[in-house]
Structure 1
Amino acid sequence: MAERKSDKQSFDLVVVGAGPGGYVAAIRAAQLGMRVALVESQNLGGTCLNWGCIPTKSLLKSAEVYQQMKNADDYGLTIKEPGFDIEKIVQRSRSTADRLSQGIGYLMDKNGVHVFEGFGSLIAHDAVSVSAHGAAVATITAPHIILATGASPKMIPGVATDSELVWTAREAMTPKVVPESLLIIGAGAIGIEFASFYNTFGSDVTLLEVADRILPQEDEEISRLAMRSFKRRGVQFSLGARVQNVEVKDGRAHATWQDGAGNAHNAVFDRVIVAAGIIANTRGLGLEAQGVAMQNGQVVVDEWSQTSVEGIYAIGDMTAPPLLAHKASHEAVTCVEKIALTDNLEPLDPLSVPSCIYSSPQIASVGLTESQARAQGISVRVGKFDLGNLGKAQAMGDMEGFVKTVFDADTGELVGAHMIGADVTELIQGYVIARKMETTEEELMETVFAHPTMSEAMHEAVLDAYDRAIHH
């Protein structure tokens, strides 16, 4: 990172936080001719690049390859005693994150962004104080300030992380050993990805979820198949679970909880991962003093990311869901272009932001679920196609999963699409583009999909919604 500046400096834009929202905002502003300052207290790239999106995908890729090694005989291949080295797996993950973080530094230099190392806090509607080790090192001013400080793991009463036996996601990404028994609190995207990783490498995994199903943000059919798939692999679940206590004693974690049926549970685990969601990083930012409105712990913004205070904006995980890196990046560009008075802008539509979960099987979605669409009074047509019917899936030896489409029966609008199975995190973008282009069901049905590909399931799921599926 750049050297600290001790003098007071003025800029056109100050960005606080260098994650996928902040650094993208800085680059786009520089491209538009602004003089930009970027403030970051830790590593360029933020949680996503250093301790989230990127390193976890590296870990999950190692798990995928290991699973393929164990199934080599199915492909006519011989591998004797497949094994793994958890230290090398973690090292590869960290190297990937470090390399990309350095790349962000290069992009800052290339675009002439002034990087300030330290913690940024608002001292006026147009000024940020940068401090390091408890001392102020710079004061920077600008008529526009974008806050992009992200979020941190949410803690649970009665569960104290100790970095040794009770982990947050950060410790779970850098294990020294693979625990024999593992409790994961939270069966959302983060919990499911860790369950997939550790289960593949031999951990006996138990997942607790406070909702009545895993992946509660996903379509119900997706949740059911995902749970069946994980159960076949030996993962245990407790739904409607209320954690009462996790106590570390005698070198192990003793957990107590009550399930949805009111049954009490007591169990002992080698490790516990707390994956119960995230909370916005707003402490110490000076929001209250400047009158920035908050709601449910998140910064309130309008469709252009403007807060209640003119000239102060907020993007990414410190605002409303969906809490995803690509949503933050898109908000960053839109916010900066709005500041620059760019013409013909469209605000972000949250329902057009894709969600991707990189477990095995993968899960991806965009738009409304079937139940959400029906709850809004939409008359729906639903299509579904099993991946096992595809020649490509059979050739790959990965036939689990399906593609589901939800259309407005009156207008032909694609209101939602949901997938589970191999490579679906790549396939979902096709439906995202279709929604952005306001493509109708007729246009999708008339589109040519290459054969043999996994994307043929996308076509068949559209056809099935209108009783025209060929390979159903």
Structure 2
Amino acid sequence: MTQQNYDVIVIGAGPGGYVAAIRAAQLGLKVCIVERDHLGGICLNWGCIPTKAMLRSAEVFHLIHRAKEFGLSADGVGFDLNAVVKRSRGVAKQLSSGVGHLMKKNKITVIMGAAKVTAPGAVSVTTDKGEQSLAADNIILATGARARELPGLEADGDLVWTYKHALQPPRMPKRLLVIGSGAIGIEFASFFNTLGADTTVVEVMDRILPVEDEEIAKFAKKQFVKQGMKILEKASVTKLDRSDGKVTATIETNGKAEQQTFDAVISAVGIVGNTEGLGLEALGITVDRTHVITDEYCRTGAKGIYAIGDLAGAPWLAHKASHEGVMVAELIAGGHPHPIKPGSIAGCTYCQPQIASVGMTEAKAKEAGHDIRVGRFPFIGNGKAIALGEAEGMVKTVFDAATGELLGAHMVGAEVTELIQGYVVGRQLETTEEDLMNTIFPHPTLSEMMHESVLDAYGRAIHF
């Protein structure tokens, strides 16, 4: 078996892996990327992108039903679930093909197969044509993660779904149970609820969206309930009985168990890293609860081997994986990149209304010992929001009272997943409240609420 030599071998072609490969190639390194399923990974094919395409369909459907508010008329409005899914899959396919083009453009060798690191600097790949032997001084592990499945609640693709099944649902459920209220669970709950499913969300923690600021999560819950969702907190699904096209779920709340029947169940209870079959144990690489342990530069315990993205732990976000890929490529090429700061990575949930955040929540800031100042501004006080017919929402900012440092920003409402980047840039530039207050925001825009929230933290809000 002939050995092929490279400067860098990337295992996994998701948003971490393919970006790492491109940046390494840009820096003059000879790169090979190995992918066992699809270029673009879960994000492009079964995660970030196709879900947003489906949620866009739900958003348009929702707006059409509000046509009268805008002086318009729309009668006989309906939807074709198969057509919605078809559009979503088409968007995913287009972007996955685009990754293939980028690989060719940057002269990156692509091998479709399952990779195993057999020794530091050595990789064996099993393809449909047999075994290939690769060698490189630097190996980047970017194998991502998959849906966690709890005992007794395993998905079958018919009655019980993971996110993959929910992206190609066999039917439109009349009654839907969603287990878990993180970003994945809430996005699917929002999609199916908007299209008319009687949707129940079960969350084991004391509130939904547990990683978000408590005030924002409560606001979002109120909106979800107004839309017809049923939210059960401090609750758990202990059993699923499947029969005759129905699922009977045993739900425990406050020590009491009750049974409810649903047409479908979506399990969204977290993810597990794809560590199996890579040969990590023999290399002395530490794996903790299915995630590879690394230092701040994504270096594992084995020389020349790095781990990035979901495989390397929270936050499980595509943009975090991409940035880590760039950082590692530059490190390998002899550069001196800055390490990733998790507190400056925004999180976005594309439900209705949208949720976005960066940095510390109010509670976390207090726990960290900060004396804080908190500002808030409601969408109802913003002209653009009212003109859009999107007056439900809030922007919240948290500052260190002594230094004026922006500790965190949290939003709920229309287009906040786009607005949050303003605060992300502010944190990256280590901005203070004075910088933000002296910045001129264009009018009329939703971004003006960002300004007003900062002003409110210091008793200077103008429009509320």
Q: Tell me which interval the TM-score lies in, with the shorter structure as reference length.
A: over 0.9
> How far does residue 193 in structure 1 lie from its aligned partner after superposition?
0.3
Q: Amino acid of the residue matched to residue 397 of structure 2? A: T
Contact 2:177-2:266 within 8 A present in 1 as well: yes
RMSD between superposed Cα atoms in Å:
0.9
Q: Which residues in structure 2 correspond to 1:21-40 (within 5 Å)?
A: 21-40=16-35
Task: Identify the match of residue 76 of structure 2 among 55, 76, 81.
Answer: 81
Structure 2, gaps ≥5 residues long: none
Matched, 1:132 2:124: no
User: Which residue is equivalent to 2:227?
Assistant: 233
CA deviation map 1:282-316 (0-9, x unaligned):
01111001111112221000011000111010000
- Residue matched to 1:50: 45
Render the CA deviation track for 1:142-188: whole Å, top value 9, x for unaligned. Answer: 00000000000000111121111110000101123210000000001
**Which residue in the other structure is 2:65 paired with?**
70
Note the 1:223-372 alignment, pairs <5 A: 223-259=217-253, 261-343=254-336, 345-372=337-364
Partners of 1:12 and 1:324 lie apart in 2 by: 27
The answer to whether the 8 Å contact 1:129/1:136 transfers is: no
CA distance in 1, matches of 2:402, 2:109: 52
Matched with 1:162 is 156
**1:229-273 alpha-carbon deviations (Å, 9 max, x no partner):** 1111111111112221112112211111211x1121211110000
How far apart, in 2, do the equivalents of 1:87 and 1:285 lie?
37
SS of 1:403's equivalent? strand
Q: For residues 351-400 of structure 1, what are the alpha-carbon distances to aligned partners after superposition, in whole Å with 9 as ceiling and x for unaligned?
A: 00000000000000000000000001001000000011111111011111
* Deviates further, 248-257 or 9-18: 248-257
Say which of 152, 169, 178 aligns to 2:172. 178
Aligned pairs, number: 464
Q: Distance in 2 between matches of 1:296 and 1:408?
A: 34
Mapped to 1, the partners of 2:394 and 2:232 lie a distance apart of 25
Equivalent position of 2:113 in the other structure: 118
2:203 pairs with 1:206: no
Counterparts of 2:4 and 2:27 in 1: how far apart (Å)?
20
Distance 2:461 2:2 in 1: 67
Match of 1:439 among 431, 443, 448: 431
Instruction: Work out whether residues 159 and 247 of structure 1, in 8 Å CA contact, stay in contact via their aligned partners in 2.
Output: no
Counterpart position of 2:451: 459
Residue in 1 that maps onto 2:406: 414
Distance in 1 between residues matched to 2:330 and 2:239, nearest whole Å: 48
- Which residue type is aligned with residue 76 of structure 1? G
CA distance in structure 2 between the partners assigned to 1:248 and 1:37 by the alignment? 45
Local SS of the residue matching 1:12: strand
**Secondary structure of 2:338's partner?**
coil
User: What is the deviation of 1:341?
Assistant: 1.4
TM norm structure 2: 0.99
Q: In structure 1, how many angstroms separate the alpha carbons of the residues matched to 2:41 and 2:442? A: 38
| 1:49 to partner: Cα distance | 0.3
For 2:378, which of 377, 380, 386 is the aligned residue?
386
| TM-score (structure 1 length as normaliser) | 0.97
Runs of 4+ in structure 1 over 4 Å off:
none
- Structure 1 Cα separation of the partners of residues 152 and 161 of structure 2: 14
Cα distance in 2 for residues equivalent to 1:45 and 1:434: 30
Secondary structure of the residue that 1:143 maps to in structure 2?
A: strand
User: CA–CA distance in 1 between the matches of 2:148 and 2:395?
Assistant: 32
- Separation in 2 of the partners of 1:369 and 1:265? 34
* Deviation for aligned residue 1:466: 0.4
Find the aligned partners of 1:433 and 1:402 in 2 and give their Cα distance: 20
The 8 Å contact of residues 87 and 176 in structure 1, kept in 2 or not, is answered as no
String of CA shifts for 1:94-131, please: whole Å, max 9, x gaps. Answer: 00000000000000000000001101111011111111
Mapped contact 1:186–1:276 kept (Cα < 8 A)? yes
Any stretches of 5+ residues in structure 1 without a counterpart? 1-5
| Aligned counterparts of 1:35 and 1:100: Cα–Cα separation in 2 | 24
Q: Offset of 1:89 from its aligned partner?
A: 0.4
SS of the counterpart of 2:125?
Answer: strand
SS of the aligned residue for 1:273 comes to strand
Distance 1:420 1:397 in 2: 15
Alpha-carbon deviation of 1:136?
A: 4.3
2:142 maps to amino acid? A
Which residue of structure 1 lines up, in the alignment, with residue 94 of structure 2? 99
Q: How far, CA to CA, are the matches of 2:154 and 2:321 in structure 1?
A: 30
Q: What do residues 4-59 of structure 1 show as CA deviations (whole Å, max 9, x unaligned)?
A: xx742010000000000000000000000000000000000000000000000000
The 2-side partners of 1:249 and 1:96 are apart by 35
CA distance in 2, matches of 1:372, 1:17: 34
Task: Tell me how far apart the structure 2 counterparts of residues 68 and 83 of structure 1 sit (CA, whole Å).
Answer: 12
Secondary structure at the residue paired with 2:58?
Answer: helix
Match of residue 3 from structure 1 = none
CA contact 1:11–1:141 (8 Å) conserved in 2 = yes
Report whether the alignment pairs 1:145 with 2:122. no
Aligned equivalents of 1:155, 1:296: Cα separation in 2: 14
